[in-house]
Structure 1
Amino acid sequence: MDIALWLLIIGWIFVLLWVPFIIYTNKKSHPKALFVLFFAEMWERFSYYGMRALLVLYMTKVLFIDLAQNVAESQAYGIYGSYTAMVYLFPVIGGLVADRLLGFKKTIIWGGILMALGHFTLALQGIENLEGNMPFFFAALSLIIVGNGFFKPNISSFLGTFYETDDPRKDGAFSIFYMGVNIGSFLATLTCGYVGQEINWHYGFGLAGIGMMLGLIMFYLASKTNMLQGKGGEPEEVTAGDRKLFGMKPTIAVYALSLLAIPVCAFMLDLSDFMAGALIVISLGIIAYLIFQAVTNKNKVEGQRILVVVVLFFFHAVFWALFEQAGGSLTIFADKNVDRLVGGTEIPASLFQSLNPFFIMVLAPVFSWLWITLNKAGKEPSTPMKFVLGLAQLALGFAVIVLGAKFFASGDGLVPIVFLALMYMLHTMGELSLSPIGLSMVTKLSPAKIVGFVMGAWFLSIALANKMAGLIGTLTTSEAVDDNTPAAVTLGIYSNTYFIWGVCVVGGAALLLLVLVPLLRKWMHGIH
């Protein structure tokens, strides 16, 4: 019996029952726009995570098959880090484009078109003469990077416009929205992961593109109705013709510059060390600009609220640098050092990435209910305290893997599957305590005129984190490791890396933030 195929079938059945239940139980509490954006983001994330589930495995097993194992893995982690970093770097620009030029709706649709083209380009690489063609591979990734920059920050910011600043439903709405993100991720890792590893890599990439097109069509159709309440259009200055870009209509200029950015991104993908330095410089520049905005703001309250975003930026980056091992070193760890045999079937390593979105689907409504219930009782933790909880649970998750490796691994270096599942559950609880809360926080604390830019800057912290994630992933490689190295040896390398970075560094960050919580609460000036 093919357990992996049954997991795929059961996963789809579960989602087809779960999504209608969530919509039915929340439709009276939230505007229809929440569910429109929920579905658009769900399919966009299906495309992104479907490709991510396969990317590192595809590079190590196909693109770099002729290289030594440690070299192949190092190169794959480097490209993966640069790719995911730029995926979260470009939202800074995308946020500004929506705020100043195109509005939310046009920016989101243009981003979706570019991303779909990128996924279909990856699928085309299956053609014989294109397999292994690195410029073509980088061009496909670049289309996704640029498209995501337009799509990702603006769909989150757009959701915030349907709620008042301190609406008690807001955190709950973002938790439901976040569940849509992870339903897409869950279906993608099961479907694209299975199809890609068990049938054909490029069919998996093609399915990701189909998912993106579904999300795009849903959003476009909804934008033609009153479900979005007429919001998300171009700024008044653009509609009136008063604002140009390089002397052209903003729409034409943005489209042209987007296409010019694609070869630049493709070139940057192969420059791992340069990307790391550039990200640090860009991050410091944008943080300096936000601090300048905060200290020069005539409204002291607005200024201090921006400073809260700046402080949490760094803790957010630490969280994601370790959490994003899921798409890199943890996938290779599952491939090498986890006992994946279930019922006589060896489950493909990529499918384990579905554990995180599965737990989010199950737990997101619980967290949404929990925050609202605690709020009514006057006991809801503040946003900074939720960040502390998120970091602490991430550290606990890595502690579970380290303990499993040290005390419960078999003689041949394989960790029981239950430890990986428990780690993903703890990481998911940490994510739900921090990530949707962070998105909600940005829309609450940012001045209305720059909310898109601040949201883009917030995603920049994930860009920085993803590049850090790639560098941390390379610490799990070694020149002494090749295809014949026993799993017991590689297990020690992974567990040592996860103990130092996952347990000690993340745990230390949680303690530091705990000390800062009272100051940050004061600077929030009543916004919880």
Structure 2
Amino acid sequence: MASSLTKDSASTPGFEKTFFGHPRGLATLFMTEMWERFSFYGMRALLPLYLIAPGGLHMDGATATAIYSVYLSLVYLLAMPGGWFADRFWGPRKTVIIGSAIVILGHITLALPSAGSFFAGLGLVALGSGLLKANISTMVGHLYKGPQDPRRDAGFTVFYIGINVGGFLAPLTIGTIGENVNWHFGFALAAIGMALGLVQFLLGSRHLSPESDTVVKPATKQERAKALKQSLYWAIGAAVFYLIVVGTGHYTLNWILVPLSVIGLVIPVLVLARMKRDKDLTDDEQSKVSGYIWFFVVAAIFWMIYDQNGSTLSIFGEESTTNTLLGFHFPTSWYQSLNPIMIMALAPVVASVWLWLNKRGKEPSTAVKFASSLVLMGISFAVFLIPLIDTATNGGKVSPMWLVAIYFVQTVGELCLSPVGLSVTTKMAPAKYTGQMMGVWFLAVTAGDSITALLSTAGVNLNTKGAVGVEVLIAVAAGLGFWTYRNKVKKLMGSVS
């Protein structure tokens, strides 16, 4: 038996190199995504802390949460045009290369010591991540022999571990340097991480499926010209509008945050409605789109609460926890390594459980897994209420173990939804929207984070007992409601389970 991660039996007819029993290309995508997530999660761990720090931009918590949420919503919103560019112009492989280069440029821009370059850098990272994210997940799907390949769900779970290896290492390195040495040095280290990811992708891309180079529906010359013209119109219109707002002295940050948040809610609705009206889809594809909308809504609610672990919970960690354990004091950004390390510990266990149950015909349906994720998310914020009540009643700071407990429950919920959601999206995607459908999945994150951003810009303090209590009720009620309608959803899914 080979000692490496891959089994080299290429000399035996009918066999090929594998990565933990999966196609060899999964190793390439695993490592590329690991480094991309290293850069992304490192910057994300620093972002809200830099925004509120006296040595950073020194903003209030609500504004920092709004900026953080809008940024995340943009990353996932831009995954939709990222899939479209792959389908119509470049193909997934080329789109990932271009996106990676833009992310590197964005992190370099973030490292420059000025507020203007900081926000420009955020925009570039969001753009590059949008081009990369949907397409690298789509390429994982290309490695398998159709939706019914029994390795498919497990393959996405292995891929998900790669995401979390990068996510675990990033706060411990980028976060430590950013908080303890220099914020902008931390952002520069994120650029190095993404550069390593791009190099690894270029070296290992020969192991990917030839399908990853395919432009599903190449744009005609007229369509290219129309897309360029429309983009210029929108850019000029936005520039004129903001020049007027700034020139008349009415500009505030909310003139950016609120429109982007509204866009993050409107576009997912428009995209799903467009698919439902598409007469090119077969009856079976239309049924699957209808079923997919249910999963989309559940995912949006899930991410609305879950993504507060980097804003609401991070700010709580900075202001209301001791950040000391067994006499050791650690930076606040280290909390962001809790979820990834728990994912790495629990993901193989959960994947094995699904396979074990599947062999016995008892694996829960995708709908049941999604419903469970929402209930668990509600439980995590019910746990959050306890330290919130304690700090409000007694003052002072609480043990960091409260955040450890919250992240543990959220991690179990995430494993019931996120890798399963990636897989079911590739299974239910209409042929016409192969690349774009993964972008649609990420629009659920956009919708959830946009709701958080709108609440924050409206002045809602999400670190209060009332706000957290309402989110508990929403998550549990939605989870139980989806479980009640699971059979209806399963019927709409057709052959997909």
TM-score bin (small chain): 0.7 to 0.9
- Structure 1 residues 246 and 443, CA gap change in structure 2 (3 angstroms): closer
Change (3 A) 1:446 1:221: same
Distance 1:21-1:272 versus aligned 2 partners, 3 A rule: farther
The C-alpha deviation readout for 1:258-279, integer Å capped at 9, x for no partner, is: xx79x97xx7996112122222
* Matching residue within 35, 40, 44 for 2:32: 40
Q: Structure 1: which 4+ aligned runs deviate by more than 4 Å? A: 20-26, 245-248, 267-270, 407-410, 472-478
Aligned amino acid, residue 86 of structure 2: A
Q: Distance in 1 between matches of 2:71 and 2:217?
A: 35
Query: In 1, distance between residues paired with 2:379 and 2:47?
Result: 27
Provide the C-alpha distance between the structure 2 equivalents of 1:74 and 1:229, rounded to a whole number of angstroms: 45
> For residues 321 and 368 of structure 1, do their structure 2 counterparts lie closer, same or farther at Cα, with a shift above 3 Å needed?
same
**Which stretches in structure 1 are left out of the alignment for 5+ residues?**
1-19, 126-130, 479-489
State the distance in 2 between where 1:420 and 1:26 align: 38
Amino acid at match of 1:460: L
User: What is the TM-score of this pair, normalised by structure 2?
Assistant: 0.87
1:64-463 alignment, distance < 5 Å: 64-65=57-58, 72-125=60-113, 131=114, 133=115, 135-163=116-144, 164-223=146-205, 225=206, 227-235=207-215, 243-244=220-221, 271-293=256-278, 296=279, 299-406=282-389, 411-463=394-446
Match of 1:514 in 2: 483
Letter in 2 for 1:278: I
In structure 2, distance between residues paired with 1:305 and 1:449: 13
**AA paired with 2:399?**
P
Q: Which moved more, 1:208-217 or 1:447-456?
A: 447-456
- Shift in Å, 1:75: 2.2
User: What amino acid is aligned across from residue 320 of structure 1 in structure 2?
Assistant: W
**Alignment check: 8 A CA contact 2:261 2:453 kept:** no
Task: Find the residue that maps to 1:360 and give its secondary structure.
Answer: helix
201-210 or 25-34, which deviates more? 25-34
Aligned sequence identity (%): 36
Q: Deviations over 1:389-419 (max 9, x none)?
A: 1111111111112134446999434222222
Give the direction of change, closer, same or farther, for the CA distance of 1:23–1:78 in structure 2 (3 Å limit).
farther
- Measured at CA, do residues 405 and 282 of structure 1 come closer, stay the same or move farther in structure 2, by a change above 3 Å? closer
Q: Is the 8 A contact 1:169 1:372 kept in 2?
A: no
CA distance in 2, matches of 1:231, 1:220: 16
1:76 is displaced (CA, Å) by: 1.7
Structure 2 counterpart of 1:55, from 28, 47, 56: 47
Counterpart CA distance in 1 for 2:447 and 2:216 is 34
Separation of aligned partners in 1, 2:339 and 2:42: 14
CA distance in 2, matches of 1:188, 1:95: 27
How far did residue 477 of structure 1 move? 6.4
Alpha-carbon spacing, 1:199–1:298, altered in 2? closer, same or farther (3 Å): closer
Alpha-carbon deviations, 1:207-263, whole Å to 9, x = none?
11111111111111112x3x114331142775xxx8336667x9xx79x98xx79x9
Deviation per residue, 1:298-332 (Å, 9 max, x gap): 63222111111112111100000000101111100
Query: Is the 2:66–2:452 Cα contact (8 Å) retained in structure 1?
Result: no
Q: Is the 8 A contact 1:73 1:474 kept in 2?
A: no
In structure 1, give the amino acid aligned to 2:212: G
Distance in structure 2 (CA, Å) of the matches to 1:355 and 1:33: 28
Q: Report if the CA contact (8 A) 1:237-1:243 is conserved.
A: no
The Cα of 1:191 is off from its aligned counterpart by 1.1
Cα deviation, residue 104, structure 1 = 0.8
For structure 2, list consecutive stretches of 5 or more residues without a partner in the other structure.
8-16, 243-252
Preserved contact between residue 88 and residue 459 of structure 1 (Cα < 8 Å): yes
Equivalent in the alignment of 1:499 = 469
Q: Deviations over 1:167-200 (max 9, x none)?
A: 1111111111111111111111111111110111
User: How many matched pairs?
Assistant: 470
CA RMSD of aligned residues (A): 2.9
Q: CA 1:335/1:298 → structure 2, altered by over 3 Å: closer, same or farther?
A: closer
Please name the residue that 1:128 is paired with. none
CA distance in 1, matches of 2:264, 2:391: 40
1:271 match: secondary structure: helix
Conserved in 1, the CA contact under 8 Å of 2:38 and 2:194? Answer: yes
Separation in structure 2 between the aligned mates of residue 23 and residue 510 of structure 1, nearest angstrom = 40
Q: Please state whether the residue corresponding to 2:395 is helix, strand or coil.
A: coil
Shift of 1:508: 1.0
Q: 1:28 offset after TM fit, Å?
A: 5.0
- CA distance in 2 between partners of 1:281 and 1:109 (Å): 29
- TM-score when normalising by structure 1: 0.82
SS in 2 for 1:124: coil
1:115 Cα deviation from its structure 2 partner: 0.4
User: How many angstroms apart in 1 are the aligned matches of 2:126 and 2:297?
Assistant: 23
